[in-house]
Amino acid sequence: MASVALSEAEKVYIMHGVQEDLRVDGRGCEDYRCVEVETDVVSNTSGSARVKLGHTDILVGVKAEMGTPKLEKPNEGYLEFFVDCSANATPDFEGRGGDDLGTEIANTLYRIFNNKSSVDLKTLCISPREHCWVLYVDVLLLECDGNLFDAISIAVKAALFNTRIPRVRVLEDEEGSKDIELSDDPYDCIRLSVENVPCIVTLCKIGYRHVVDATLQEEACSLASLLVSVTSKGVVTCLRKVGKGSLDPESIFEMMETSKRVGKVLHASLQSVLHKEESLGPKRQKVGFLG
Amino acid sequence: MLKSKTFLKKTRAGGVLKIVREHYLRDDIGCGAVGCTACGGAHEGPALEPQPQDPASSLCPQPHYLLPDTNVLLHQIDVLEDPAIRNVIVLQTVLQEVRNRSAPVYKRIRDVTNNQEKHFYTFTNEHHRETYVEQEQGENANDRNDRAIRVAAKWYNEHLKKMSTDNQLQVIFITNDRKNKEKAVEEGIPAFTCEEYVKSLTANPELIDRLACLSEEGNEIESGKIIFSEHLPLSKLQQGIKSGTYLQGTFRASRENYLEATVWIHGDNEENKEIILQGLKHLNRAIHEDIVAVELLPKSQWVAPSSVVLHDEGQNEDDVEKEEEREQMLKTAVSEKMLKPTGRVVGIIKRNWRPYCGMLSKSDIKESRRHLFTPADKRIPRIRIETRQASTLEGRRIIVAIDGWPRNSRYPNGHFVKNLGDVGEKETETEVLLLEHDVPHQPFSQAVLSFLPKMPWSITEKDMKNREDLRHLCICSVDPPGCTDIDDALHCRELENGNLEVGVHIADVSHFIRPGNALDQESARRGTTVYLCEKRIDMVPELLSSNLCSLKCDVDRLAFSCIWEMNHSAEILKTKFTKSVINSKASLTYAEAQLRIDSANMRDNITTSLRGLNKLAKILKKKRIEKGALTLSSPEVRFHMDSETHDPIDLQTKELRETNSMVEEFMLLANISVAKKIYEEFSEHALLRKHPAPPPSNYEILVKAARSRNLEIKTDTAKSLAESLDRAESPTFPYLNTLLRILATRCMMQAVYFCSGMDNDFHHYGLASPIYTHFTSPIRRYADVIVHRLLAVAIGADCTYPELTDKHKLADICKNLNYRHKMAQYAQRASVAFHTQLFFKSKGIVSEEAYILFVRKNAIVVLIPKYGLEGTVFFEEKDKPNPRLIYDDEIPSLKIEDTVFHVFDKVKVKIMLDSSNLQHQKIRMSLVEPQIPGISIPPDDISNMNLNGPQKKKMKFEK
């Protein structure tokens, strides 16, 4: 993972600051940095979003393609995740350097979506056992400035919100042979409900306290952190510890409480931003990469 | 400004793709009106007139431009093409829709917009910043396009107002869509339907005739009863075809019986290749050449092809019951094995309508504006048209286009397009037969002519590269008299080693026609030169066909030579191909050449050369016949034309001399040699010609006919057929052999061009050659030009080009050539038929001996050897009691009263021109001998027959 080298004195400075609930950039322990979200940035995807969190820069594209449902879930569609770490972010990702991180993030995404409530997969089914929509969620990591997981999860949620899947009808004739018909109105499409799509809140243990949305410098001071995926209602869907240090159960409990609290706020503000953008309609001036 | 257009597309594999295209909007697109300052003026190409002086319209007196929508353009193109309609704005939206829906109309509209006189302007509204519209929610593509058109119309009106305040210029929106018109009027755009507008053009009343009459869906139910069942929608048809309940095929109407048709099923499935349709309801409004979907009927309803000849004569369209009665007539008891798969049309996949030539059958009711139009092609049903100029159009050849065929109408609806001229006029009739057979006959365009060599032309140093100088050889050409496009010449000389050197020299057309240029494309499109009785439609411009390529005597000409070394028993020892320069020493006719060979005292070089060729040719012919080549016969006629009026004054069957077969023999040899060479060199993309062996069932009629004369014809192989034909002689009936050969010709399949990489059966059945191509007539056949190019590449005399080695392109060329050749043949036959009529018109009524070729249920087909003329003698006439007819299909024979007719029986017939039907003036034959009371007519009693004048009273069909 991308990292910075800090001197011992710098680390102590950060740790002491956290102790006093005052971080290097002036935030409190439970404050996020400023998040920028823009959807519909890549026109040839079904849905896309770009999220900037500090200098962490994430682009997510969702592409809907037709496929066959998985055997064990004949009347559901499914999601596929792929994370690409661009060498733009750090020279370490050059060549196959980013693969390990990419796989790790993709696996985490699989885990947080691996439950019935996060996305209603049944709406992705076209005809049981034969056709369903497969959503390919491609994450592109453009710049790293700490707290990758949170930024990615926000971007994924925004992209899913933006996703428009063309509505198709299955025509069946007397012989039972099926044909798929595409609606000729491009506005006629399915929207996913992102109500229960969770976001990840990463809590970094620094000294005796934990902080949300750690910068690269803060991550360098932390030995262990906890990824908690929370829905907008505060339900924890997944928990994962990263880093080589250990956490005592009491602080884990404390961190979960924090994450629920922070997560709810995060969801609420994300939702309101997305709706606000949506209400501007197609006339919205797109910022994209020129902004 | 950049916009992106997004749309969804279903892929063939069933996936759904989202496609995003960049779309640029500009603000520098001009409105097309000359002198418009706002747009900066300078418009290249055709533009609108600043002050249109259009024919006065009572609806819109001030000057105006027209702006038609897509459907108007698609259906009323005939009106728009009229010189009276000018200053039309064609929107890009409209043009694109037209292109997607009908390629022919698109081409026509392009031609019109390119015509400076018409002042049509194409406005690229889709790229104009102010007229571009995006599809809105809940709007389908059609609605969007309609809106785009309205937005453009509105923009125009506002724009023109800006031009100058006193300007009265307006843009009038023409649409036939009621809702669209209402919306336009709401938005303040002056809009009319096409009909309203055209009717308001008081100065041009004839335009109304050209309006396509399209009945709206709603009107259908109220008027009259429904005759036909509904056509199924395309999606249902496609599903049905996929699942096999319906079959897709090309609809071919019968020439002889308007109630019968066959459908050729597409695909490789051998059984059910051909399906019979019988009865008006089962034909269900399909028209010749349409692609249709048919449903097979249960076996219990299968029928046999009827041998009745039936023409649609009904004047009144409500005689549907009568029709049913007629249909019953077709269904006669037949043996089980005669039954063929029978079906009915359930839907039309693709209409193949084109404008049809024909004549007006004026309605009996005076002042009626609805008339029936009878096409010249008997396979096309009669068409109802509306016209006010019926009296001027009567007796003229006209062109009519079909607009539609409602379910409650006995005939399709159409509209008048063009007047060709008086019936019977030679020019008119030639025009008709060229149009009917789709023969491209316009003069060559300037673009094509620009690729001709500049005159005076001479052979240059550069031309001599890769070329052998054969000017010293004693070469001569032998052709029919009056031939100006000489494409072959021959020579033969003895070599020092005692062997013979034989050369066939073919005009080097591919030297002048370079691949890919306009000249090449035009000749590829024409495919072949068409020879009519008094006219030749050239494949290449005259400068080439009659001068630079023609191997005339005493001038240096470029040639492609095929030179063999042979021994005296005509075995080929060496073959050489080379490009060359020759200088023909003599252009002979067949008769002249024959004379030289026969006269013993002529010993010059040319004559010895001819004698050598003739000797070898005889040996070659013998060898070929031993291998099983067929000698077939077809009666060919030649007209002696009056040199001034070009009327035929005499008619004679073609005479065949030894020299004909001499030239033919060497051409065959050259073709076979070249075929081998190009196939060896290009196994995947050689252009070859094959003649498939006919299926045994084709021979049935020949075998039966011969059996009735106690002769046996074997048809298992070409060789046994040739031998049994040779043996089939009758001492008392010398003409029998020729008749049998004529009949055998009718059993044959059509020879076709093909690309060697696309097929694996190369055999030429008629010539008994394993491989064959066409090399020897590049002036008049495009196939030969391709073969020349292939051969030139093979011997390194010319360079290749990509299309030459693309087998799919070659296959396309072959397809076009085969079609053009077939059509050229039909046109030739039609031309002969027309001249035969002219001949008999001047000759009056004659009696001649004839032989029966076929026996039909109610008629016999006879051949008159003297004129090589074929005709049908009918035994059922409308206004006479029907005689007792007994038809036996097995022998076959027809018994009338007490006289029995067999194939090959000798009869005597009276020939006269029947002008009772002006459209199809035809040679009419009636029986003179043997005498059958009530049927045959006495030889001298012709005065009571009123044939040369339209019958005043149409007799009703009685049974």
- Per-residue pLDDT reduced to its tens digit, B542-588: 888 888 889 888 888 999 999 999 988 888 999 999 999 999 988 98
What pLDDT shows up at residue B958?
35
Token representation of residue B195: 């009909």
At B687-719, the pLDDT tens digits run 999 988 888 888 888 888 888 777 888 888 878
What is the set of domains in chain B, with CATH numbers? 43-210 (3.40.50.1010), 234-312+336-437 (2.40.50.690), 446-691+752-826 (no CATH), 696-747 (no CATH), 844-929 (2.40.50.140)
pLDDT digits (tens, 9 = 90+) for B806-850: 888 888 899 999 999 999 988 888 888 888 888 887 777 888 888
Helix (H, G, I), strand (E, B) or coil at B181: helix
Interatomic CA distance for residues B355 and B717, integer angstroms: 44
Residue A88 in contact with residue A48, Cβ under 8 Å? no
C-beta of residue B119 within 8 angstroms of C-beta of residue B87: yes
* Ranges assigned E (strand) in B279-382: 291-296, 343-350, 356-361, 370-375
Nearest Cβ partner for B140 among A64, A66, A184: A184
Beta-bridge partners for B638: B652
- Full 3-state SS string of A52-97: EECCEEEEEEEEEEEECCCCCCCCCCEEEEEEEECCCCCHHHCCCC
- Identify whether A193 is part of a domain: yes
Q: How far apart are CA B276 and CA B302, in angstroms?
A: 9
* DSSP conformation letters of B405-451: --TT-SS-EEEEEEEEEETT-HHHHHHHHHHHTT---SPPPHHHHTT
Put simply, the chain B residues between 467 and 486 with a CB less than 8 A from any chain A CB are: none
Cα(B669)–Cα(B619) distance, integer angstroms: 12
Q: How far does A172 lie from chain B, in Å, by closest CA?
A: 10
Yes or no: say if B71 and B175 are a contact pair by the CB < 8 Å rule: yes
Reported ipTM: 0.72
For A79, the token pair is 């999601």
Chain B residues near residue A173 by CB distance under 8 angstroms = 239, 243
Mean pLDDT (whole number) for A155-180: 82
Q: CA-to-CA distance for B413 and B215, rounded, in angstroms?
A: 9
Asked whether residue B629 carries a pLDDT value surpassing 90, the answer given is no
Q: Return the residue matching tokens 């009711």.
A: B365
Least confident of A66-70, A267-271, B665-669, B915-919: B915-919
Is pLDDT larger for residue B667 or for residue B221? B667
Cβ contacts of B160 within 8 Å, gap of 6 or more: B31, B33, B167, B169, B170, B171
| Residue B457 touches chain A, beta carbons under 8 Å | no
- Any CB–CB contact under 8 A between B142 and chain A? no
Instruction: Find the residue in B nearest to A177 (Cα).
Output: B243
- Is pTM beyond 0.80 here? no
| pLDDT of B648 strictly over 90 | no
Identity of the highest mean pLDDT range in B361-370, B761-770, B850-859? B761-770
pLDDT at B565: 92
Contact B507, B574 (CB under 8 A): no
Taking only the tens place, the pLDDT of each residue in B584-621 is 988 988 888 888 888 888 888 888 888 889 999 999 98
For residue A91, pLDDT beyond 70: yes
Give yes or no for a contact between B69 and B101, defined as CB atoms under 8 angstroms apart.
Answer: no
Q: Does residue A232 sit within a domain?
A: yes
- Establish if B15 touches chain A: CB-CB under 8 angstroms: yes
Query: What is the percent of chain B where pLDDT is above 90?
Result: 9
**Alpha-carbon gap: A123 to the closest alpha carbon of chain B (Å):** 17
Pairwise CB contact (< 8 Å): A186 & B135: yes
Q: Please tell me the predicted confidence (pLDDT) of residue A137.
A: 95
Establish if A167 belongs to a structural domain: yes
Residue B392 scores a pLDDT above 90: no
Question: How far off is chain B from A88, nearest CA to CA, in Å?
Answer: 27
Indicate whether B521 pLDDT > 80. Answer: yes
Contact A166 B4 (CB under 8 A): no
- Nearest residue, CB atoms, B15 vs list A43, A66, A186: A66
CB B173 within 8 A of CB B67: yes
Residue A179 to chain B, least CA–CA distance (Å)? 8
pLDDT of B334 strictly over 90:
no
By C-alpha distance, which of B409, B443, B579 is closest to B509?
Answer: B579
> ω before B930 within 30° of 0 (cis)?
yes
A233 domain residue, yes or no: yes
**Residue in the structure block whose two tokens are 């009717």:** B199
Chain A contact for B20 (CB, 8 A cutoff): yes
CB contact under 8 A, A175 and B243: yes
In B164-253, alpha helices (H): 178-186, 194-200, 207-210, 234-243
> A67: domain range?
8-280
Helix or strand run (H / E) with residue B400: strand B396-404
A2, part of any domain: no
Domain count, chain A: 1
List Cβ neighbours of B444 (8 Å cut-off, separation of 6 or more). Answer: B522, B541
In a domain, A289, yes or no: no
Dump pLDDT digits (tens) for B71-99: 888 888 888 888 888 888 889 999 988 88
From B171's Cα to the closest Cα of chain A, the distance in A is 31
- Cβ-defined contact of A66 to B14 (cutoff 8 Å): yes
Q: Which helix (H) or strand (E) segment is A104 a member of?
A: helix A99-113
Distance of CA B516 to the CA centre of its chain: 24
Collapsing DSSP states into helix, strand and coil, what is residue B613?
helix
**Helices and strands counted in chain B (H then E):** 26, 37
Q: What is the mean pLDDT of chain B?
A: 80
A136 pLDDT band (50/70/90 cuts)? very high
pLDDT computed for residue B952 by the predictor: 37
Cβ burial, residue A64 (10 Å; 0-12/13-18/19+): buried
* Chain pair A-B, CB pairs under 8 angstroms: 47
> Cis link prior to B541 (omega < 30° from 0)?
no
Q: What is the pLDDT of residue A174?
A: 61
User: What CATH number is given to the structural domain containing A209?
Assistant: 3.30.230.70
Neighbour tally for B27: CB within 10 Å? 9
Round to whole Å and give the CA distance between B848 and B925: 10
> Residue B772 above 60 pLDDT?
yes
- Contact across the interface for A185 and B138, Cβ inside 8 Å: yes
pLDDT at B100: 84
pLDDT at B944 over 50: no
Percent of the residues in chain B that have a pLDDT greater than 70, as a whole number: 84
Closest-CA residue in chain A for B240?
A: A173
**Would residue A172 count as lying in a domain?**
yes
Contacts of A67 in chain B (CB under 8 A): none
Q: Which residue has tokens 């389908």?
A: B140
CA contacts within 13 A on the Cβ side of A104: 13
Question: In the prediction, which pLDDT does B889 show?
Answer: 72
Distance of CA B738 to CAs B745, B832, B864, Å?
Answer: 11, 21, 12
**What does residue B128 show for φ and ψ, rounded to 5 degrees?**
-90, 130
- Which is nearest to A101 in space by CA: A112, A90, A113? A90
Q: Among A2-11, B374-383, B811-820, B915-924, whose mean pLDDT is lowest?
A: B915-924
**pLDDT (0 to 100) of residue B117:** 78
B134 contact residues in A (CB cutoff 8 A): 282
B141–chain A Cβ distance below 8 A for any pair: yes
Q: Residues B793, B794, B796, B802: is their CA dihedral positive or negative?
A: positive
Is the pLDDT at A262 greater than 90, yes or no? yes
pLDDT band at A155 (very low <50, low <70, confident <90, very high): very high
Kindly list the residues from chain A whose CB atom is less than 8 angstroms away from the CB atom of residue B16: 64-66, 166, 168, 182
Using the structure block, give the residue that is written with the tokens 């409190």: A28
- Cα separation of B101 and B141, whole Å? 14
Q: Do the bridges between strand B191-192 and strand B170-174 make them parallel or antiparallel, or are there none, so unpaired? A: parallel
Taken in order A110, A116, A118, A121, the sign of the CA dihedral is: positive
- pLDDT for B955 beyond 50: no
Please provide the distance, in angstroms rounded to a whole number, between the alpha carbons at the two ends of chain B.
77
pLDDT at B956: 36
Cβ atoms of A228 and A200 within 8 Å: the answer is yes
Of residues B872, B696, B857, the one with CA closest to residue B305: B857
Span B336-384, pLDDT tens digits: 667 778 888 888 888 888 888 888 877 767 667 778 888 877 888 888 8
Judge whether A31 lies within some domain.
yes
Which of B8, B239, B242 shows the shortest C-beta gap to A186? B8
Q: Is the C-alpha dihedral spanning B572, B577, B582, B584 positive or negative?
A: positive
> Which of B533 and A110 is assigned the larger pLDDT?
A110
